[in-house]
């Protein structure tokens, strides 16, 4: 008997995702300052959040297309797809609530979300389904490696409001749990030939450029709105230069520095996606799922 050179299918069986109905009931008064590293990092995370509801519906649609066309034969993969859809729908619901709360706090979340929706509607109308699925796998790679980073470095949330922290941890755990599903659908319907691998790599390049260009375009808009709103409310007349520089240094530390410098730290894992034959479960981080049921119980809807 030869050893299985690719353990991914076994891991998939061991990590069948489960839809969990969770409601965090976040405290609205902390919407713009919940992260332990202050407003810049809070608003950066809030900016990431505004992509989730429409983005995750795009992921669901791109997979549903192949499921409805009955191109997924494997019953276990069909079951995983059902759970994937359930999990992403739940993430969308919680992030919708979160985003509405941040919008109520005076940040232009709904306006920016509408831009994301317009873009995704355009892509859905003009890209072939295979490219949409490739983009989904690419962005699922991003959510999986970012989620893995948060779970590897829970101290990132030191000093954060606990409910907000737990919401991000829950999302990170479930992104880990279902990280192979879109990818397995891609393999099942498009295979692993040169054409499929090229389309997969192209999807990652384009999705990365588009996603981060929007994040770094939206984040200053969100910060500006927060500062204007605080000035209007008289909460803060004028931020001193030192305070502004401090906020930017914290954000730089968080993204490319050492606390945890996630964009820098994630580069090797990000690049591994380009390796022919890559599979998300090549990195076996199932241990991150250990606390998910306890978390789900604590916040059961
Ligand atoms: Fe998600
Ligand atoms: Fe996901």
Please report, in tens digits, the pLDDT of each residue of the chain (301 residues total): 333 445 555 666 568 899 999 999 999 999 999 999 899 999 999 999 999 999 999 999 999 999 998 899 999 999 999 999 999 999 999 999 999 999 999 999 999 999 999 999 999 999 999 999 999 999 999 999 999 999 999 998 999 999 999 999 999 999 999 999 999 999 999 999 999 999 999 999 999 999 999 999 999 999 999 988 888 877 665 566 777 777 778 788 878 777 777 788 899 999 999 999 999 999 999 999 999 999 999 999 8
Which ligand minimizes its atom distance to the CA of 91? 1
Looking at residue 16, the DSSP 8-state letter turns out to be -
Phi, psi of 65 (to 5 degrees): -50, -45
Residue 236 has a pLDDT of 60
Among 192, 50, 39, 177, which residue's Cα sits nearest to residue 119? Answer: 50
Which ligand minimizes its atom distance to the CA of 144? 2
Residue 191 has a pLDDT of 95
- Ligand 1 ion: nearby residues, β-carbon < 5 Å: 91
Ligand 1 centroid to residue 88 C-alpha, Å: 5
Residue 4 has a pLDDT of 42
Q: How far apart are CA 85 and CA 174, in angstroms?
A: 12
> Count of CB atoms within 10 A of residue 47's CB?
23
Residue 3 has a pLDDT of 38
Q: Where are the alpha helices (DSSP H) in 69-161?
A: 75-104, 109-126, 129-152
Q: How far apart are CA 197 and CA 192, in angstroms?
A: 6
> Count of CB atoms within 10 A of residue 279's CB?
21
Buried b (16+ CB within 10 A) or exposed e, 10-41: ebbeebebeebebebebeeebbbebbbbbbbb
H-helix or E-strand spanning residue 231: helix 194-232
Residue 265 has a pLDDT of 85
Ligand 2 centroid to residue 147 C-alpha, Å: 10
> Count of CB atoms within 10 A of residue 66's CB?
20
Residue 256 has a pLDDT of 78
H-helix or E-strand spanning residue 68: helix 52-68
Which ligand minimizes its atom distance to the CA of 142? 2
Residue 17 has a pLDDT of 93
Vertex 183: Cα angle to 85 and 293 (nearest 5): 50
Ligand 2 centroid to residue 163 C-alpha, Å: 20
Ligand 2 centroid to residue 186 C-alpha, Å: 14
User: Is domain 8-298 classified as CATH 1.10.620?
Assistant: yes
Ligand 1 centroid to residue 94 C-alpha, Å: 10
Ligand 2 centroid to residue 185 C-alpha, Å: 13
């Amino acid at each position: 008997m030869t050893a299985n050179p690719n353990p991914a299918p076994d891991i998939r069986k061991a990590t069948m995702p489960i839809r969990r109905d969770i409601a965090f009931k976040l405290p609205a008064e902390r919407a713009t300052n919940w992260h332990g590293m202050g407003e810049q990092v809070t608003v950066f995370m809030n900016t990431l959040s505004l992509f989730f509801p429409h983005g995750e519906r795009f992921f669901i649609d791109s997979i549903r297309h192949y499921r409805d066309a009955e191109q997924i034969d494997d019953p276990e993969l069909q079951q995983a797809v059902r759970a994937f859809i359930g999990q992403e729908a739940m993430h969308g619901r919680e992030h919708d609530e979160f985003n509405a709360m941040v919008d109520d706090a005076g940040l232009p979340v709904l306006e920016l979300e509408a831009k994301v929706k317009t873009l995704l509607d355009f892509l859905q109308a003009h890209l072939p389904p295979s490219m949409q699925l490739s983009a989904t796998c690419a962005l699922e790679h991003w959510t999986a490696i970012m989620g893995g980073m948060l779970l590897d470095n829970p101290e990132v949330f030191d000093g954060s409001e606990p409910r907000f922290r737990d919401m991000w941890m829950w999302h990170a755990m479930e992104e880990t749990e279902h990280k192979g599903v879109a990818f397995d659908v891609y393999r099942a319907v498009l295979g692993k030939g040169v054409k499929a691998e090229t389309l997969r790599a192209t999807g990652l390049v384009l999705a990365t450029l588009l996603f981060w260009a929007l994040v770094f375009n939206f984040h200053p808009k969100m910060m500006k709105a927060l500062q204007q709103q605080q000035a209007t409310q008289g909460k803060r007349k004028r931020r001193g230069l030192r305070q502004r520089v401090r906020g930017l240094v914290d954000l730089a530390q968080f993204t490319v520095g050492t606390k945890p410098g996630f964009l820098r730290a994630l580069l090797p894992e990000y690049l591994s996606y380009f390796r022919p034959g890559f599979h998300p479960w090549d990195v076996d981080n199932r241990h991150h799922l250990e606390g998910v049921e306890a978390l789900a119980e604590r916040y059961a809807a």
